[in-house]
Amino acid sequence: MASIITGVTNDPERRLIEHNEGITKGYTHSRRSVKLVFCSDEAEIMDTISFEKQVKGWHRENKEALINGDYD
């Protein structure tokens, strides 16, 4: 079963490359390859950070529902 990780960046394509090339030495370094399955374009950085913290607290089934477009 693949891990679901959550993060914030202003350049998702660059960040994905960094993860997959091993530039990022954190959690994903030994769990490559990484793929982007959901991206939200919040207007304000504080909204983005708040949403990230909310999602990080969710159970896996809630994260999978978000990934699948079932926001309700």
Q: Whole-prediction pTM value? A: 0.80
Residue partners of 57: CB distance under 8 A and separation at least 6: none
DSSP for 14-68 reads HHHHHHHTT---SGGGGS-----------SSHHHHHHHHHHHHTS-HHHHHHHHT
Cis, bond preceding 33 (omega within 30 deg of 0) = yes
Amino acid residing at 19: H
Q: What separation, in Å, do the N-terminal and C-terminal C-alpha atoms of the chain show?
A: 24
Residues 16-58 have pLDDT tens digits of 999 999 998 889 898 899 999 999 887 799 999 999 999 999 9
Percent over 70 (pLDDT), the chain: 99
